[in-house]
Amino acid sequence: MAVEERLFSLVLALVATETGLTKAEVLSTVQGYRQRYQNGGDNSSLERQFERDKDDVRELGIPLETIEPPDDPGSNHNLRYRIPKGLYDLPSDITFTPDELMVLKLAAAVWREGSLSAESRRALTKLGSLGVESSDPVLGYAPSLRARESSFEPLSKAMDRGQVVAFRYLKPGETAPRRRRVAPHAVVLHDGRWHLFATDQDVAAKRTFLLSRIVGQVVTLPGQTFKQDGDGMGQQALAELDELWNASLAEVDVVPGSDAAVRLGKRQTSVATVGDRISLHYTDLNILADELAGFGPEVLVQSPPALRQAVISRLTGVRDAHDVQDPRGTS
């Protein structure tokens, strides 16, 4: 799990409780710790991580408090930790416009997606079973946006449980989807799209899949499990996607003042504009080809040749689909 997500989960848990949580309660219930917590075992490395995380949270300006038990002062074992909601709220004179609120919701979309919301519900349930009261629902701090891909939640659950999954995957250029059997390691958002980083069990190699190309349901395979290689899978996936993004550059000529010129010129992947030519970074050639073909005559791809050919193929396909012969033999 990414450090940012673990810290976010820790902050949510400590804001949601009035009485605070002990170290044991944090380690056994909060996402990012509980997966490695050993009940009655050696958790010394996890405790050191929690101590580092507390320092990181405080460095971010978040008021993390330590509460001594009144009946056992000076006891480190029974110390409780909390973040007073009143001190963490924004000042009353700060307000946001509807557009600003929408931007904030979009920026925070990843925190609302399947695995975090499910983990938050499980954490609240477990904290309740320990007798810890929650003054505010953890989910109240997350925006109400959802991922469009139905595969997001089952993949997240399979990662949490170390289960191998299978799904049908349609690659560009293929006429029918193929069944893939993978050990899922991370689901990451890159360039506005969700990607699955996994080990393809049939070839024993790491692969990246676009969730939008998964066809049908994701199913877990009974009796087939795997052990995660450790933390950092999400960072590894993003690093590989960043490397691909930086290495892939398209040169596109646009008609001045056209919709293509406005939309492509404002994209974050647009790195330079010289005259009517725009340079675009991309991670998936076929997705970019679909987008550019949609602009029709407003764009002309100069490079790379494979992208140019892909756009031409899409445009000729549309032309041929509408090239209907009438009974007199003319079109």
Distances from the Cα of 221 to the Cα of 118, 201, 211, 272, angstroms: 21, 12, 19, 47
Most confident of 32-36, 113-117, 120-124, 128-132: 32-36
**For residue 110, is pLDDT > 60?**
no
Higher confidence at residue 312 or residue 88? 312
What is the pLDDT averaged over residues 48-72?
Answer: 84
User: 21-22 and 214-225: which strand pairing?
Assistant: unpaired
Output the pLDDT for position 4.
Answer: 77
The 10s digit of each residue's pLDDT in 195-232 is 999 999 999 899 999 998 999 999 999 988 888 765 57
SS3 (DSSP) at 48 = helix
Domains of the chain, with CATH numbers? Answer: 3-98+116-138 (no CATH), 152-244 (2.30.30), 248-322 (no CATH)
272-288 average pLDDT score: 82
Q: Which two tokens stand for residue 206?
A: 């790491």
Contact 123, 138 (CB under 8 A): yes
pTM of the model: 0.55
Percent pLDDT > 70 in the chain is: 73
Residue 252: pLDDT band (50, 70, 90) is very high
Name the most confidently modeled range: 75-79, 271-275, 276-280.
276-280
> What's the pLDDT score for residue 178?
93
| Tens-place pLDDT, residues 164-176 | 999 999 988 788 9
**Structure-token pair, residue 142:** 């997350």
Residue-wise over 283-307: b if at least 16 C-beta within 10 A, else e?
bbbbbbbebbbebeebbbbeeeeeb
Q: What confidence tier does 89 reach under pLDDT thresholds 50, 70, 90?
A: low
- Give tens-digit pLDDT for 322-331: 776 555 555 4
Q: Is the pLDDT of residue 190 over 50?
A: yes
Distance CA 146, CA 152 (A): 10
